[in-house]
Amino acid sequence: MTAKYALLNQGEDNEMEVFGYKTVRWQQVLCIIGYIFSLGFLRVLFYWKPQLDVWCQCIPCSFSQADVILLRTTDDHREFSKKKVIEISPRTQGSKSDHQTITKKNSIIDKSLMKPMGKIRYIEAQKIRYVWNTVEGKFQKIGILEEDLSCSDIHSKFGSGLTAEEQEIRQQVCGLNSIEVEIKPIWIILIKEIFNPFYVFQVYSLSIWMWCAYVEYSCVILAMSILSIIATVYNLRVQSVKLHKMSISYNSIMVTVLRKNGELKEVESQTLVPGDVIILYISENKHFLPCDAILINGACTVNEGMLTGESTPVSKVPLPRIESSMPWKMQCGEDYKRHVLFCGTEVIQIKAYGQDLVKAVVIQTGFNTTKGDLVRAILYNKPMNVKLHREAMRFLLVLVFISLLGVAYSAAVFKKNGASVHEIVMMSLLILTLAVNATLPASLTLGLLYGQTRLKKLGIFCISPQRIILAGQLNLVCFDKTGTLTEDSLDLHGVLPSNGTSFQDIHLFSSAKTMPWSPLLGAMASCHSLIMEDGKMQGDPLDLKMFEGTGWEFESHAAQGTKDGESNSYTMVKPGPSAGEVPVEGIAVLHQLPFSSSLQRMSVITQILGERDFTVFMKGAPEMVIRFCKPETVPHNISKKLDYYTTQGFRVIGLAYRLLQKEGIPAIEDLKWDIIETDLIFLGLLILENRLKPETITVLQELSTAKIRNVMVTGDNLQTALNIGKHCGMIPKSSKIIIIEASEPQNDVPASITWKTITENQENEHKETFQSFHTVINAGWKPNTSQPEEFHFAIDGKSFQILRQHFYNIVPKVLLNGTIFARMTPKLKSSLVEEFRKLEYHVGMCGDGANDCGALKMANVGVSLSELEASVASPFTSKIPNIQCVPMLIKEGRNTLVSSFSMFKFLSVLTTVGLLSMVFLFWKQTFLSNAQYLMQDCAIVIPVCLTASLNGPAPKLAPHRPPGQLLSPSLLLSVFLHFLLSLGLQTTAYVLLQAQPWYNESDVFSACLPLNHSTENITARVPTITETYLATTTWIVTGMNIITIEFVFAKGSPFRQRLHTNYLFIIIIILQVAIFLFFLFAGFEQIYTTFEVVCIPFYWRVYILVMVLVHFVLSYAIEEGILENRKLWLLIKKLCNYQSKSQYRKLQRGLKMDTEWPPQNRTDYAIKSASVVDSKILVFKNASYQPPTENSGEFLGPQKIM
């Protein structure tokens, strides 16, 4: 194998590039010599840049020969890491040839064994172990069961467990089943923090300041740095302890394992390996799963709150025994998770079939598990704001370049004035310390922590504070419907029974009448996944409401004896006191297929007490249930009935049943659902009312006013979603609605799209007329020029999937005005968010955290309405049970973003002000004293950094977003103009000072006489190098200059609260101004000697005050009148014909010129279509198609587009 490069975890979140290297001894020796001669700096550089370490000590080679692996992330940051290749020789006790003990051929371990040596080579990256696959020539993840195993393979190869030898070998190769994050020792955290590039620069700066005798100032900065390091180390230590406690929870428990010989053995969970069979049981204590496992026997109910943020019980069913070579995940499709028990979830109930045990095969251990992914996501959190970080680095490099110019200037000036080499070097290095302000990183971090704290007080939690800034850029928010826009609980409206050819009269639950016994009542009483926990029914809110409406009672599991002596576990439901007279004693629920969003249905096998045969009940989406029913049992007017109720906003559930003869069928758990779910009899429709949450309309209106798009993404019926969309204001009543229906290609007819325009009579909201007719684009169709400007697309999941497969070039156009996306599976929700992001929308997603988990992660900002403070489901979790959290988060995001940019501007201009003052002072070979520097930093800069970000968010969302780019024209122009103003202020002061009659560079005590001192006393004193008229004037001017820019940059409206609400900041500014005015006009000798300033005439003090006031007025006028004048910038953009470069803006401009968009009341056909996986590949433009007739010619040719 000669490969030197490969991709690790291709297509996954932690995808990395892998490079093979071999250590060269003589290069390694040279590097060690370099460490010594560079006093360790070369080692520190290698610590910062692992790639340099590898390149200097190793040479590229094939992976089979490599002893060092260089990893590089494929994200925008491209971070490198160095890993050593480790070799192990797995063997069992007493065996000499270890590889003979491995019986599973073609397993990962078997392919990784280097024969005949019997060694296995691996690396460990981000807590995951990767072994070298000698057969396929690649590094492969270990600690997981082979993904290419079929359902039958898992049952046959692993259903009976592993032998003790197999288990021992796997444990040596895979490692312990442990998700343990060690508590980092304080000294390690301290060393890593000290070797941060920022603190290394701090050490350099402190050394220079000490060398220049700035002892007091250096001590203050040193104290600040020590306090900052202590605070950082403390926080990191606390986080390490918390993460350690979180990771070890239920990390080592006792589990029962089935061995190959049939022996049941109780072992520690840390010894589990992929392929082990664990036995599930319910104990008095809570039973948490220590690994990811796939259920192969029995059924169980688990609480996945740790994963989803919802504590709703989830039913799990065993993996079917399907004879197929297809991998089990592909065989099960999107619903494979209903067979998987995830690590960290709690087992609430188990259900055994006959005398069989409830068994599960371990498929993932340690950090490979779902819980391990959560811990790793916290440990190796992907850096956010990559573009912002890159812009910040570029800006800082510009400041470094300016500082280097200052170095060159100082060297030239001091050389001209005849300074020694020592002085020239000292002053040059001193100027270089001004490149990056010492408080910049701390100030930006503090702003994020303030934002996180404010959100936490509101009940919104975020693990990564950097994501808060992303929330400030959102311009589109996707909302789930049920539980997010509408109430969690549904109100029962009625039941519409069917008698085969037509519907009977509706039974309204508002009436006092009880439902008579019928299979329809039996379906409502038994077709659910409810469980009894701690004496209380738990389950899906819809199931709870449906069951409560029957008046029946629920009993927990019981055991029913059979003629073979076996016992079956089942759930019993019986008529309650309020159920009226019912001719049956109860219904036993023997087996169930839990509800799935992708299947859109659930089914149960029951036995009505007193009857011999079984009864199968099904409930789900009406259009899905109808597919499994006999056509003659479905009323002909069902479509009209569905439209009638769904357009009024009701949620409609279809119900059906069939009898299943008990004789001649295998065990219930072995029955195949595709055989059971056939020839059902349609029972009727269950109608529920899903009310909007009181806050929904107000929040959506607030977002719309702020020009933030609202999109509904739901698994519910399209008509119901449309009704909710209109009632909540997501679709204005004056807008046109275009429903998109797409069809798969069939026989000779290609895929098609039908565009149905809904015209609504505003006086009668529910009278709708659908008009649809076929047309051909190239046949001279004339667009409807009277259409309103605003229109909204509505589409269901099936049609959206067809669009992505056959009409991909239309998808971006549909998304521009797509508002309602119904019948969306969790996978389609994620795909939709991904497509929005491709158009360069900043997408937010708000959902319940369960079915929306993928979309919440895919969005720029995902908010889960959850009671948990942290969840793997979403970056943000909100304890606020409604969508009020969304505008709150956006407001705080904008506030934090503006605060961070303002602080960055302030510290950047502060650097230039300091450089300018040094330029003038060095020209006259004078400096500011230590006391003067202390006053500037301790009285001005540090208090500002601590208090400037305390403003809360603005109470109202502005109709525009703050600039999201650090190098935006407005920000760069602001820094540049304030630099010019500062330059003008200091130049004016310098020039005017030179023109004063009393100015003298040698005699600095004659401008005015201090009190109680004679002239002889003054002239006898030798002034220090800092006691000059220029230094005194420059100190006052630069101090007031800094106060001015801190006030001007403390932006309030429209994204932050007004400045006066930040009381602490206002008090600090008032005190700062008062102190410097006191220094300017006070004539105390103590002040002169302490701060090393000289007395200046009173009129010159007034001149300084006038200059400072003029500078303040100009700075404030330019910042507010020009730089923050949105109307002016819009005018400039218009005059310069500037247009947004975002993809969705470009598309909008293009569609404005398209007279045929949007299509209305027509059907378009695809001549040729391509299934698109990546948007970068070639797709074909979809021409219209006329179904062939006897006189028709051949099809229109396709047109290629990129």
Long-range Cβ pairs for the range 235-240 (8 Å, 24+): 236/184, 236/189, 236/193, 237/183, 237/184, 237/186, 237/189, 240/181, 240/183, 240/184, 240/189
Strand partners, 605: 591, 616
CB-hemisphere CA count at 13 Å for 1041?
A: 28
Tokens of 642: 């569905």
Amino acid identity of residue 889, one-letter, is L
Helix (H) or strand (E) holding 197: helix 197-211
Distance CA 60, CA 626 (A): 63
User: Any idea which residue has 């990256």 for tokens?
Assistant: 125
CB-hemisphere CA count at 13 Å for 497?
A: 15
Omega into 943 within 30° of 0, i.e. cis? Answer: no
Active-site residue identified among 98, 292, 480, 540 = 480
- Alpha carbon 791 to its chain centroid, in Å, reads 31
- What are the two backbone dihedrals, phi and then psi, of residue 163, each rounded to the nearest 5 degrees? -75, 165
Whether 488 is catalytic is: no
Distance CA 580, CA 586 (A): 13
Distance CA 1199, CA 1202 (A): 10
Sequence-distant (≥ 6) Cβ neighbours of residue 208 within 8 angstroms: 426, 429, 430, 432, 433
Closest CA to 218 of 199, 205, 201: 205
What are the helix and strand counts (H, E) for the chain? 38, 44
Distance CA 165, CA 1047 (A): 73
Closest CA to 204 of 406, 401, 436: 436
- What are the two backbone dihedrals, phi and then psi, of residue 794, each rounded to the nearest 5 degrees? -130, 135
Q: To 5 degrees, how large is the angle CA 840–CA 844–CA 846? A: 155
Closest CA to 22 of 52, 81, 79, 63: 63
End-to-end Cα, the chain, rounded Å: 38
Closest CA to 251 of 266, 265, 269, 271: 269
Strand partners, 686: 495, 653
Closest CA to 207 of 441, 414, 430: 430
The 10 Å Cβ neighbour count of residue 508 is: 12
Q: Where are the alpha helices (DSSP H) in 691-777?
A: 696-705, 718-727
SS3 1101: helix
Distance CA 720, CA 481 (A): 10
Tokens of 641: 């009935």
Task: Burial-class residue 1202 by CB neighbours within 10 Å (0-12, 13-18, 19+).
Answer: exposed
220 touches 937 (CB < 8 A): yes
Sequence-distant (≥ 6) Cβ neighbours of residue 56 within 8 angstroms: 27, 30, 31, 46
Closest CA to 807 of 855, 757, 739, 745: 745
Active-site residues: which are they?
480
